[in-house]
């Protein structure tokens, strides 16, 4: 069976699902709770990575319709998270999640 390219809707669905999960994981917790709970922190970081990877696969025509979304920053965060995991600043991750 040939690998079929994913449709743009699938990537958008991935983004929305990852956002939903992050919101669920972080609702009703403080920054200190976030820092202390490795499972939550790992889950949040993983879903930010998923968002960043999906963003890289969204066609430019779709991105151009939403210029207010900082597409490059989102993809750039994914690269930082993937390549510098042990150097991740918890405050930056928390700020991204809460803003």
Confirm whether 78 is a catalytic residue: yes
Please give the distance of CA 45 from its chain centroid, rounded to a whole number: 7
**Which of the residues 8, 20, 36, 78 is marked catalytic?**
78
Centroid of chain to Cα 42: 12
Known catalytic membership, residue 66: no
Enzyme catalytic residues: 78, 83
């Amino acid at each position: 069976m040939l690998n079929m390219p994913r449709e743009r809707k699938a990537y958008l669905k991935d983004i929305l699902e990852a956002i939903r999960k992050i919101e669920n994981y972080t609702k009703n917790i403080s920054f200190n709770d976030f820092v202390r709970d490795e499972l939550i922190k790992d889950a949040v970081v993983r879903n930010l990575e998923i968002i960043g990877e999906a963003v890289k696969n969204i066609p430019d025509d779709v991105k151009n319709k939403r210029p207010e979304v900082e597409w490059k920053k989102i993809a750039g965060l994914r690269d930082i998270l993937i390549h510098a995991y042990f150097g991740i600043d918890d405050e930056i991750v928390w700020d991204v999640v809460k803003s």
